[in-house]
Amino acid sequence: MSRSIFTVLLAAFFVFHLTHLGCCQSPETEKGYLLEEGLVAKVNDEPITLKRFHDFLKSRRILSSNDSGEDQKKKEDALHDLIEEILIDQKALSLDLESDPGFVRHKNQHMNDFLISYLHVKEIIGKIQITEEEIEEYYEQHKDEFYAIPGKRQIRRLLIKIRPGSTQEDYVESYKKAEEAAKKKIEALYQRAKAGEDFAELVRQYSEDANRTDLSGNMGYVEKGKLSPPLDSVAFSLKVGEISPPVRDKRGYHLISVLDIEEKQYREFNERVARGIRRFLEEEKTKEMSREYLEELKEKTKFVYHEEILELPDSLVDENDWALVINDLDTIEFKDFASKTGWYKVSMGIDSLTLEDKKDLLGNFVAMSAILIGEAERRGYRDSLDYQVEERAFVLDEARKRVEEERRRQDFPPPTREELEAYYQAHKIDYPPLGIPVHVHHIIFDDSLEAVEVLNQIRNGADFVELAKKHYPGEPEIRDVAYDLGFITQDEMPQNFYEKALSLKVGEVSEPVRTEWGFHLIKVVDKKEEGNTFEDILPEVRKDVKWEKIREYRENWERALFDQAEIWIDEKLLKELELDKPEG
């Protein structure tokens, strides 16, 4: 890399601060809301005027649905969201960020970047002027380079390929014969075309161009340079209606006819073209003026290099030692210099740094931020209103982020086993049933003695289902189906009922089992081999408990935000306010 290219990099470094920050346009000021516009609400004495609320509705694209009830709900929800935004901003402004060293460092870096960008806008961008004459002159000077529309030829082509035999031992000899045959064939076709035969018909019958979409060989309009060089040269030398002699390229032999000619044209010099040229010229002038401005600043800058340590190997230097003093005010420490040496060596294409290289790196790059910041301060830009607005906006933005981090907190202690089980018990319906599914029939009795009597009948061969229908309480149509519980799991019947069913083999009938409904005889009809355990669903439960805690925390956080505020709403005005109608 040459020294001149390195100077260009310095200018790019200057421009980077402008584009990186995206600031220093016309600074946006606070919106002023007039009290006489009518107050929709007040939040800790901060007014929400009709205009402010209407602007908020527009920003959220909240429009009328032509349903008064739905529109009222939209307005109430929107006002709640706006009040919440205001409360968050008020909470953010109450934070003391200046006591946080990390924030102070971050703010200082941001504001230094802002100063560099602001200096660039004031001293360079704001002084660039591009005249209409310059734009028109650029267009005329670069018409052929950027604004030309290439000429085109509408072409019809006939192709005869060279087809050497694939079985010949002597490929060269075979290729020569195929080439002679193709040449002889194309010459004959050329003579027929010259004699007046329809060239399009000859193409249809004889062309071997498998890629043609038009059987007559019409290739459409082709720009110069799009064909193979031999074809391109011939195509753009023919007149309309002329047929070329045979032309040879790597695909074979061609005959070409030009059907139409479109001469080279130029894009119209219009407003769109002018805007593009203006942007380009502004960018070029920005680069040039930035480079010149930096050179002027460096010429006015006093550099004092600590040559004693710069001549030492890096490993022998204390990183906190000074390497350069600028204008007797700003000090560059060795660690700031050392962090850039690798980049510098790669950029300059060198393996090691001489004393002059080190001074070049320090003065031409490492020191640039300090030089530019010093110049901005000398011009009073740190005391400007724009600087104060940017600083306030930065502090508020960082404070908002911290309030949002508090609001969106997720670092809660992991739930205990008891919490997980309690949550599951309260939300069983949301999870797969636990336990091995068991298909059971049962008969229910009020009297245990009657249950024992029926059990003996079953053991003596009586049919369980028939006895169930006979003894099951209720209407006949209910008794016909109520005995069959289907597959049950541990949470669908009392625990002792399920455990007894689980202990039985398929076909077995239990002793009477007592529940709150009476005494049951249980028969197992079928049993699955596996089922869900609590451990199986535990990951899902744990995730749900986590999100439940987050949801509850956010709801409580937002509730506290509102509870601690003084909020007044003009319900009548809110009801009378009409939402904008959708367009069309």
Residue 230 carries which DSSP code?
H
* CATH domain 433-531 topology: Chitinase A; domain 3 (3.10.50)
Spatial distance between the Cα atoms of 321 and 314, rounded to a whole number of angstroms: 12
pLDDT in the model for residue 11: 52
Q: Which amino acid type is present at position 283?
A: E
The structure tokens listed for 49 are: 């005027």
Spatial distance between the Cα atoms of 223 and 152, rounded to a whole number of angstroms: 5
Could you tell me if 45 and 566 are in contact, meaning their C-beta atoms sit under 8 angstroms apart?
A: yes
Helix (H, G, I), strand (E, B) or coil at 244: coil
* CATH domain 151-263 topology: Chitinase A; domain 3 (3.10.50)
419 to each of 274, 416, 537, 550, how far by Cα in Å? 70, 5, 14, 15
Helix-helix angle 385-407:68-93, to 10 degrees: 110
Q: Which residues pair with 247 in a beta bridge?
A: 254
pLDDT in the model for residue 32: 41
The structure tokens listed for 229 are: 């060089």
Residues of the chain with pLDDT under 50: 1-9, 20, 23-36
pLDDT in the model for residue 209: 86
pLDDT tens figures, 323-379: 999 999 899 999 998 999 999 999 999 999 999 999 999 999 999 999 999 999 999
pLDDT in the model for residue 34: 42
Mean pLDDT of the chain: 89
Spatial distance between the Cα atoms of 527 and 533, rounded to a whole number of angstroms: 16
Q: How far is CA 107 from the centre of its chain?
A: 27
- Taking Cα atoms as reference points, which of 449, 453, 444, 468 lies closest to residue 517? 444
Asked if 151-263 and 433-531 have one fold, the answer is yes
pLDDT in the model for residue 418: 94
Q: Where are the domains of the chain?
A: 12-142+272-300+368-414+535-584, 151-263, 302-366, 433-531
- Taking Cα atoms as reference points, which of 462, 580, 468 lies closest to residue 521? 468
Burial class (CB in 10 A: 0-12, 13-18, 19+), 219: buried
93 to each of 139, 327, 390, 569, how far by Cα in Å? 53, 38, 15, 23
